[in-house]
Amino acid sequence: MPFHFLSKESEGPGMVDQLLSRISLLTSLADERYIEEKREQQESLASRLSTPAEDARKRVRVLLCDSSGLRRCRVVPWHRFRSIGTTGLGLTSACMAQPAYSDCIAPNSGLDPVGEIRLVPASPVVDLPWAPGHCMVLADMCTQPSPLIGLQQGALSPPTLPSWSGCPRAALRRALVALKEEYGLSLMCGFETEFVLLRREQWVPGRHLEGGLPPLHPVDDAPYAHSRATGACAAVLDDMVDTLENMGIPCLQYHAESGPGQFEIVTSHFEALEAADKLLFTREAIVGVAAKHGLEASFVPKMSSSAAGCGCHCHLSLWKGGVNIMAAAPSLQDPAQPHPSLSEQASCFLAGVLQGLPTLLLFTAPSFNSFDRLVPGGWSGAFTAWGWDNREVPLRLTCPPTTNTPDSSPAATPFSSLNAEYKAMDATANPYIALTAIVAAGMLGSLVKCTLPPPLQVSEDLWRWRIFTVS
């Protein structure tokens, strides 16, 4: 089914209006829950006594991710942190219209220098092991209240600030509430973070331009998963993993990737909003620890035309009541088949993602450099197809073996690890926006009962499924 199904001509005059009305209702519900949660957080923060860990904190980095995927922050003294939990920090709304290449406002963005938003701390505070005394918190973007509101209420403190319409984090929160309310589902996500470690040449008079920076070079030229690359960079990679673990981000594995100086760190899955938060913390940790070791880390999708690009593969799974529901019930499985049968909910959701893939690229691979990475043979997902353990398609389903451990859920089954890897995503995407778009596509697929085509299991057939034409 093509992705123009939400037209009045194809689905009847009332369908679009009903859908938009339902989305508006769910958005209001999500905002109401958010305001209540923020009120409880503020009360908890105000009543909690200082702890020894907090006594060591001197500065708080208030982090946001803009539309181009850049991580930006403002820093406040720790003693001021409690006050900004209520009032936030001021920021021009035009910040969300700044491209990565320049501090200017992108044309036709709908934003300009007029307008103020507030950065309100929204995530748990995380200490930064590579920067003693510093900690970090992710912020929601909220509307700037009128000072007359406090006057009308006879109080100096403003009310809990509502989310700004351009806040990516709020958009994902609303999408997840809609998924839960409409289908009873939660989305779990885990990420593979690919990056390149670079070392800068020492400046030499006569060789490098006066006032310029010497060039950067990858730290090695080893092939994929080569032990030499891992051994040479073990100190910095181990430091990164230890840092992430200390920040509450469990690491599943790391290894050398295909490109020169390229590595990948795989982190555990979390509920989608928390997963996006932790992805940004992961990137901050990788950059911070690399700098501590005299290196630079880059997440650029395609640094060289002759080397593998850096993606941000996202592993998705749908859950209900604490149980992974990607697979059909055991009674519906056919032991003679090589792969599990999908549940109807998972099949419709993934079919929506697959049908919407050309549009999703605007949100998950939004830069020109992103498309330099999405090329056939790059294992990056340059095709409109899905398959079981097919690393050339953008939607790869996989079901690693599940073992019973003391921590296993009582409801664990051989299919508890079944997930879909969305490969057409990189670090130039804002993760909140990317996941919001994926949830929206999946819900549209669920709405109209989209069906998946047969899986693509033969690589020679990929060329006729290409998302776009490479000139």
Q: 189 in helix, strand or coil?
A: strand
- CATH 3.40.228.10 for domain 180-199+216-464, yes or no, is no
Domain-wise residue ranges, the chain: 16-166, 180-199+216-464
Distance, in Å, from the CA atom of 163 to the CA atom of 326, rounded to the nearest integer, reads 32
Nearest to 468 by CA among 388, 394, 391: 394
Q: Tokens 């997902």 appear where?
A: 381
> pLDDT below 50 — which residues of the chain?
1-13, 15-16, 46-49, 151, 153-156, 158, 405, 468-471
Q: Give, in degrees to the nearest 5, the angle at Cα 176 between 89 and 364.
A: 80
pTM summary value: 0.87
Residue 265's nearest CA partner among 252, 277, 254 is: 254
Q: What is the DSSP string of 48-77?
A: PPP-HHHHT--EEEEEEE-TTS-EEEEEEE
Q: Smallest Cα–Cα separation from 229: which of 252, 255, 205, 268?
A: 255
Phi, psi of 42 (to 5 degrees): -65, -40
Instruction: Give bridge partners of residue 65 from the DSSP assignment.
Output: 71
- The Cα 75–Cα 134 span in angstroms is 9
- Structure confidence at residue 12 (pLDDT): 41
CB atoms inside a 10 Å sphere around CB 401: 6
Residue 316: name the closest of 439, 175, 453, 155 by CA: 439
Q: Which residue bears the tokens 């103020």?
A: 116
Structure tokens at 41: 């957080």
Q: Of 261, 323, 249, give the one whose Cα is nearest residue 285.
A: 249
The confidence score (pLDDT) of residue 49 equals 43
Gap between the terminal Cα atoms of the chain: 28
- Look at residue 103 in the predicted model and tell me its pLDDT: 85
Fold of 16-166: Ubiquitin-like (UB roll) (3.10.20)
For the residues of 326-388, what is the DSSP string, one character each? SBPPGGG--TTSSSPPBPHHHHHHHHHHHHTHHHHHHHHS-SHHHHHH--TTSSS--BS-EEE
Write the CA distances from 192 to 55, 180, 255, 310, 337, integer angstroms.
Answer: 34, 25, 11, 10, 29
Segments of 419-462 assigned E as strands: 419-422
- Three-state secondary-structure class, residue 468: coil
Q: Rounded to whole angstroms, how far apart are CA atoms 408 and 416? A: 10
The answer to whether 158 and 150 are in contact (CB under 8 A) is: yes
DSSP secondary structure letters along 244-295: HHHTT--EEEEEE-SSTTEEEEEE--EEHHHHHHHHHHHHHHHHHHHHHTT-
Give the H/E segment covering residue 431.
helix 431-447
